[in-house]
């Protein structure tokens, strides 16, 4: 089965043999936003075009708008790998919510899940559009964006392997007023909306776990608003970089100053200054649309308290992650010791 997946220095195209959803240990993600990777990046959907003519892909203007792919449905056969997990009975899910399920519940849910490889800038959910499926990220992460009438947007939430896309379905609605867009490419486990609703009825423990995650995500959104309104740009940038670093395989992830300015709701010049300060301190390295975290403890020391507040709530409500990426990381050095 031909597929696109995150590997090496970009989004590669290859053939997967047998079960699984790609390499067991994907290499570090390094993608340059704005360059076309297999035709998946470097596009923008304009709000006016969507309202007048429905979803379509247009070339981005020199300055205005955001680079992203138009809202192709998440199950487009020609662009995504769909691998039935019924044949992967021995593989543990990498998504934190699914991994927390009892083995029996997980085994019964597996046939309802498909693995899909999603490229950067793929729009998964549009404001006021019916949500067709929920997705559980295993690698990569998704930005939740609040869009303005002039086409600008600001990030209000970030979702990776700790969570899910499609919370309105959990809460009894069928749509949201924010957009979900893949920010770092990766693999996701997809469940159709009707199958998801049935699973909530069938598995009370699953339902309760997802409700706790909804509270975690609500706290992240609230803390993001407070942080963006009160803290200096450098601290806000450090917080965002720590959150992104938690959700990728290696130390690198794709990002440009222009997108960071949108994520944090500040001018690009402010991002350039803040990123320059963090790079001068040796905490990060920025080159050709890719940011690498070179000193995690140092970056934590440059961050405000907001990252730690959200992370502690997440671990309290969902339990600490067991092994692998996403291990709890301190936001301050322990008393009497190093970081």
Taking the C-alpha atoms of residue 116 and residue 21, their distance in angstroms, rounded to an integer, is 8
Do residue 70 and residue 199 come from a single domain?
A: yes
List CB contacts of 291: < 8 A, sequence separation 6 or more. Answer: 241, 252, 253, 254, 255, 275, 284, 285
Cβ burial 232-260 (10 Å sphere, 16+ → b, else e): ebbbbbbbbbbbbbbbbbebbbbbbbbbb
On whether both 142 and 255 belong to a single domain, the answer is no
Each residue's pLDDT tens digit, 139-148: 999 999 999 9
pLDDT number for residue 337: 39
Task: Output the CA torsion sign for 86, 88, 89, 95.
Answer: negative
Q: What is the mean pLDDT of residues 61-69?
A: 45
Examine residue 185 and state whether it is found in any structural domain, yes or no. Answer: yes
Q: Is residue 23 part of a domain?
A: no
Q: What is the CATH number of the domain that holds 306?
A: 1.10.10.10
- 166-182 pLDDT, tens per residue? 999 999 999 999 999 99
Higher model confidence: residue 21 or residue 283? Answer: 283
Backbone φ and ψ for 2, nearest 5 degrees, come out as -75, 145
Tokens 């009160």 belong to residue: 230
| Residue 101, beta-bridge partner list | none
> Which of 52-56, 126-130, 183-187, 294-298 has the weakest average pLDDT?
52-56
Query: Which residue among 145, 172, 203 closes a domain?
Result: 203
What are the tens digits of pLDDT across the range 236-273?
999 999 999 999 888 888 888 888 888 888 899 999 99
- The number of distinct structural domains making up the chain is 2
Beta-bridge partners for 254: 290
On whether residue 135 sits in a domain, the answer given is yes
22 lies in a domain? Answer: no
pLDDT of 319: 86
Decide if pLDDT at 81 tops 60: no
Residues 185 and 47 both lie in one domain = yes
Residue 20 within any structural domain of the chain: no
Do residue 38 and residue 176 come from a single domain? Answer: yes
Q: What predicted TM-score, i.e. pTM, was given to this entire model? A: 0.73
Do both 165 and 76 map to the same domain? Answer: yes
Find the domain containing 75 and state its range: 2-8+29-203
What is the dihedral sign for C-alpha 281, 282, 286, 291? Answer: negative
**Domain contains 18:** no
Look at 334 and 210; give whichever has higher pLDDT: 210
Residues 261, 154: Cα–Cα separation, whole Å? 9
More confident site: 109 or 21: 109
Contacts of 11 (CB under 8 A, 6+ apart): 4, 5, 31, 37, 38, 40, 41, 119, 120, 185
Residues 38-66 have a mean pLDDT of: 34
- 314 domain residue, yes or no: yes
- When pLDDT is averaged across residues 39-65 and rounded to a whole number, the result is 34
229 and 193 part of one domain: no
Identify whether residues 48 and 157 lie together within a single domain.
yes
Shared-domain flag, residues 189 and 60: yes
Residue 306 confidence class, pLDDT cut points 50, 70, 90: very high
- Based on the fold, state whether residues 262 and 129 are members of the same structural domain: no
Between 56-70, 152-166, 278-292, 306-320, the lowest mean confidence (pLDDT) is in 56-70
From 173, 203, 233, give the residue that closes a domain.
Answer: 203
Q: For residue 220, is pLDDT > 60?
A: yes
Q: What is the mean pLDDT of residues 295-310?
A: 96
Q: Which two tokens stand for residue 97?
A: 């919510």
Q: Are residues 235 and 168 in the same domain?
A: no
Q: Hey, what's the torsion of the CAs at 245, 249, 254, 258, to 10 degrees?
A: -20
Q: Both 130 and 263 in a single domain?
A: no
Structure confidence at residue 90 (pLDDT):
43
What 8-state DSSP symbol labels residue 76?
A: -
Q: Are the CB atoms for 127 and 100 separated by under 8 Å? A: no
Judgement on whether residues 121 and 268 belong to the same structural domain of the protein: no
Calpha distance 65→68 (Å, rounded): 9
Position 14 in a domain? no
Alpha-carbon distances, residue 127 vs 134, 190, 299 (angstroms): 15, 19, 34
Look up the CATH number of the domain holding residue 90.
2.60.120.10
């Amino acid at each position: 089965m031909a597929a696109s997946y995150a590997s090496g220095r970009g989004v590669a195209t290859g053939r997967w043999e047998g079960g699984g959803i790609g390499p067991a240990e994907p290499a570090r993600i390094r993608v340059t936003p704005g360059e076309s990777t297999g035709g998946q990046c470097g596009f923008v959907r304009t709000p006016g075009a969507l309202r007048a003519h429905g979803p379509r892909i247009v070339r981005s203007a020199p300055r205005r708008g955001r680079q992203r792919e138009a809202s192709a449905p998440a199950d487009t056969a020609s662009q995504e790998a769909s691998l039935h997990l019924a044949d992967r009975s021995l593989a543990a899910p990498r998504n934190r919510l699914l991994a927390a399920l009892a083995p029996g519940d997980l085994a019964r849910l597996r046939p309802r899940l498909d693995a899909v490889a999603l490229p950067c800038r793929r729009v998964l959910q549009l404001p006021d559009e019916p949500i067709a499926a929920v997705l559980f990220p295993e690698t990569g992460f998704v930005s939740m964006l609040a869009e303005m009438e002039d086409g600008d947007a600001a990030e209000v939430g970030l979702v990776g392997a700790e969570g899910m896309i499609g919370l309105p379905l959990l809460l009894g609605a069928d749509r949201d007023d924010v957009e979900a867009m893949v920010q770092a490419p990766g693999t996701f486990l997809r469940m159709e909306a009707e199958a998801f609703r049935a699973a909530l009825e069938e598995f009370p423990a699953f339902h309760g776990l997802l409700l706790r995650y909804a509270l975690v995500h609500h706290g992240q959104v609230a803390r993001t608003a407070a942080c963006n309104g009160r803290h200096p740009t450098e601290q806000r940038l450090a917080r965002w970089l720590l959150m992104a670093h938690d959700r990728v395989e290696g130390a690198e992830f794709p990002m440009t100053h222009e997108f960071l300015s949108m994520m944090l709701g500040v001018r690009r010049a402010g991002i350039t200054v803040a990123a320059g300060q963090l790079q001068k301190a040796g905490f990060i390295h920025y080159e050709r649309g890719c940011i690498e975290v070179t000193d995690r403890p140092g970056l934590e020391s440059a961050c405000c308290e907001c990252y730690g507040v959200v992370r502690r709530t997440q671990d309290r409500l969902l339990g600490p992650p067991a092994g692998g990426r996403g291990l709890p990381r301190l936001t301050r050095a322990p008393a009497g010791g190093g970081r």
